[in-house]
Amino acid sequence: MPHTLIDPALEAEYALRRRHPERESVYDGHRRLGAALRAVGGWRLDQRYGPGSRCLLDAFPAEEGAPVLFFIHGGYWRALDKSDVSFIAGPCLAAGVTLVAPGYDLVPGVRVADIVDEMRLALRWVVDNLSPSRIVVAGHSAGGQLAAMLALDQAERGDGPICALAGLSGVYDLRPLRHTSINADLGLSALEAAAMSPLLRLGDLPPGARLMPLLAAVGGEETDGFKRWSRDFAELWAARGGAVQHMEPARRNHFTLLDPLADGADPLTRAILALAHPPEA
């Protein structure tokens, strides 16, 4: 891996395992909810979309042709699993939205760029197999980076199936991570970190590029670094002509930010699901 020194200030901002030892209990709660929902049956689980060992996705279909929430799990590209976000399916289905949760291979076995390519394959599977009316790409933490890269793919092409992007405490600038212990697994070089940073890619979009609506959310109790990522990305998105909604739920940290997604009446959940339906005329 590229040799970089750990910056204690950046380590405190972005390496969250020591800061939040309670995160495993948060994950366990999400997993219990998801396991109960998956046990109901009738879903399309472990659908293969690519050659990697973890290139499988779970689809929780609403009616045929329903809009899709394509939600990518976090874990700094090195941990967690698609099943960790199954719990979101309940509110999705109640709103007539299909949830698709893709898995992906993890670092250090692959590069971050490889995972971005896997998400492109997963999105293609959704288009080919579900024929959705609309697709919202969304993700938490590292999943927010992956979702943003898919949205920027479409912005560069000029057209595509994505109608909106929802980033929940997304990692939009990977350069600071090179100076944290996280890079022991990521192995990012300076060039890789820049190339995989949605914030920089957004700034490099050609004039006139069309951006879909963005919902950027970050917990009110998150570190300044994560809040800055979300705000900077949202501000630049707006400056480049995209519609932006920014949310900062109170009393939510990086991990508990996902808790409300089990509740269809929560403002964050409602805001995400609203993106999946066309605006009323």
pTM of this structure = 0.97
Q: Which segment of 18-27, 96-105, 163-172, 195-204 scores lowest on mean pLDDT?
A: 18-27
**pLDDT tens-place string over residues 180-204:** 999 999 999 999 999 999 999 999 9
Closest of 157, 146, 166 to residue 237, by C-alpha: 166
- Domain residue ranges of the chain, discontinuous segments joined by +: 8-275
Going by pLDDT thresholds of 50, 70 and 90, the confidence category of residue 3 is low
> Which pLDDT score is estimated for 281?
38
The Cα–Cα gap between 122 and 35 comes to: 22
3-state secondary structure of 47: strand
> Which pLDDT score is estimated for 113?
99
Quick one: fold of 8-275?
Answer: Rossmann fold (3.40.50)
Please report, in angstroms and rounded to a whole number, the separation of the first and last CA atoms in the chain. 53
> Which pLDDT score is estimated for 4?
72
3-state secondary structure of 252: coil
3-state secondary structure of 262: helix
